[in-house]
Structure 1
Amino acid sequence: MSVVVEVEISAADFELGRILGVDGMSSIELESLVPIGGATVPLFWIHNSTRDRFVDSVQRHPTVNSASEVDVFEDRTLFTLDWDANQDHVFRGIREHEGQLLSAIGTPERWEFELRFPSHGALTEFRTHCEDAQISLEVQRVYNPTEPDAGPWYGLTERQREALTLAVQMGYYDIPRGCTTEELAAELGISDQAVTERLRRAIVSLATSTLDPPEQER
């Protein structure tokens, strides 16, 4: 039975966290890891208010060849790094122990990861791998996604469900709005921009799972 774990890792403990630890950044959301040739490169979102400072800082890092824009929207930009995630102990550990990256949101200080492993044994091996690499994991929650009421729900991760539920309860989607993202952020203990990205991803996951569900076998 697969297992999902939510962990926090200091940005200083792994290479990508150090690369993306740009002063003044409030949050970065990892979109995915994309295989290109023999390397695995990250795609991630940043908010446009910090785009220029971000690019200047990241491109000065000795292990990064370049940071390239993939998509630019009014409030955020999707970037990819010319850098191999396989050289990072955290991501190499995820790959070697058959883990899946469900979500990752970071700041210059800390990152929150939600990961799925095929078994508790694989999760234990991943934690041992990180300990051997002197990476300190703070485990926030471990659950089996197939257990009733454990999650995910309609494609939502636990944190996405929490944020979306709170937004509805506090009237964020009411007209006029009953709260701001700043107030949601204060309740959740994360940044304003992290709330915005978490709600966006939650709505995309919910819509994908309910409006365009996988075809049932006939």
Structure 2
Amino acid sequence: MSVIAEFTIPTEEFALSQAFAAIPNMAVEIERMVAHPASRILPYLWACGGTTTTVERELRDDPTTVSVTKLTEIPYGSLFRIKWSDETRETVEDVLESDPVILTGTAAKQGWDFQMRFEHRDHISKLQSDLSHHGVTVELKRLHTPETPTVDGQFLLTSKQRTALNSALDSGYFEVPRKTNLSELAEELDISQQALSKRLRRAHRTVSRHILTTGPNEIVDDRLD
């Protein structure tokens, strides 16, 4: 039976420690994809918490990256393609050696938080042993067996994501021109801009993926844009 593990790896033992030191409010999230050999090195990251120019510069200057390319920019984050240093690539390979399914992968200054599905519990012990051999600490936060099936990892919005999305819609955040900005909306919800940006991005991606994969293939007049 498969098992889901939630664990943390310190940034200084994994990746982007220097970038987080330069931008303490920065948050990154791994862009999930169907596993194949080219995607094992986790090349795509969403990042927010500073200006796009600053974030891109600090990601590029971090010693754990070899190259950084901005692929797209939205109001609450940017997507980057990362080529990691050899040392970081080796650590990633150790993490992925037992072919886990990455459900979530996020990072802040305090550490990298992963939620992964493993086929066997023994794989988690091996992961801890392999990384420890390379001087990388794995702090296991939670271990549980999934009770209900999910679609593509998780399609449903969390209550916090739903609240953030509803507030953004009601406040005119998505209108053109906008009637509010991220800072005002975060203050209204009494959360940080970083937390709000993450919730809106995840909610937007979840809703978009659900519509594109399950909705009817109807053609809508482009003039409505």
TM-score, scaled relative to structure 2: 0.68
Cα distance in 2 between the residues matched to 1:18 and 1:6: 21
Q: Is the 8 A contact 2:23 2:49 kept in 1?
A: no
The one-letter amino acid of 1:52's match is: T
For 1:135, the equivalent position in structure 2 comes to 136
- Residue 71 of structure 1, CA deviation: 0.9
Residue correspondence of structure 1 range 38-49 to structure 2 within 5 A = 40-47=41-48, 49=50
Q: CA deviation at 1:78?
A: 0.8
Q: Which structure has the larger Rg?
A: 2
* RMSD of Structure 2 on Structure 1 (CA): 3.8
Report the CA distance shift for 1:40/1:136 in structure 2 as closer, same or farther (over 3 A): closer
SS across alignment from 1:200: helix
Query: Which letter maps to 2:67?
Result: S
Equivalent-residue separation in structure 2 for 1:59 and 1:72 (angstroms): 17
The one-letter amino acid paired with 1:21 is F
Partners of 1:206 and 1:135 in 2: CA distance: 36
Shift of 1:12: 0.9
Shift of 1:43: 0.9
Residue 163 of structure 1: which of 149, 160, 163 is its match? Answer: 160
Give how far 1:181 is off: 3.7
Give the structure 1 partner of residue 113 of structure 2.
Answer: 112
Counterpart position of 2:11: 11
Instruction: For residues 62-121 of structure 1, give each alpha carbon's deviation from its aligned partner in whole angstroms, at most 9, with x where no partner exists.
Output: 453321111122332111123257844542122211112221221223222111111211
- Tell me, in whole angstroms, the C-alpha distance in 2 between the residues paired with 1:157 and 1:89: 31
- Decide whether the 8 Å contact of 2:6 with 2:113 is kept in 1: yes
| Structure 1 residue 22 displacement after superposition | 4.5
Report sequence identity in percent: 20
Return the TM-score normalized by structure 1.
0.70
Q: Deviations over 1:146-189 (max 9, x none)?
A: x14xx75784289x636336659xx7468469x95457675xxx
| Structure 2: gaps spanning 5 or more residues | 173-183, 215-225
- Alignment length (residue pairs): 202
Aligned to 2:22: 23
Give unpaired runs (5+ residues) of structure 1: 214-218
2:223 corresponds in structure 1 to none
Range 5-14 or range 27-36, more displaced: 27-36
- 2:67 corresponds to 1:70: no
Alpha-carbon distance change, 57 to 205 in structure 1, aligned in 2, over 3 angstroms:
closer
Kindly provide the amino acid, as one letter, of the partner of residue 78 in structure 1: L
1:42–1:194 CA distance, 2 compared to 1 (3 A): farther
Q: C-alpha distance in 2, partners of 1:67/1:94?
A: 22
DSSP 3-state at the match of 1:40 = coil
Deviations 1:33-77 (A, max 9, x none): 787869835211123733222232333344533211111223321
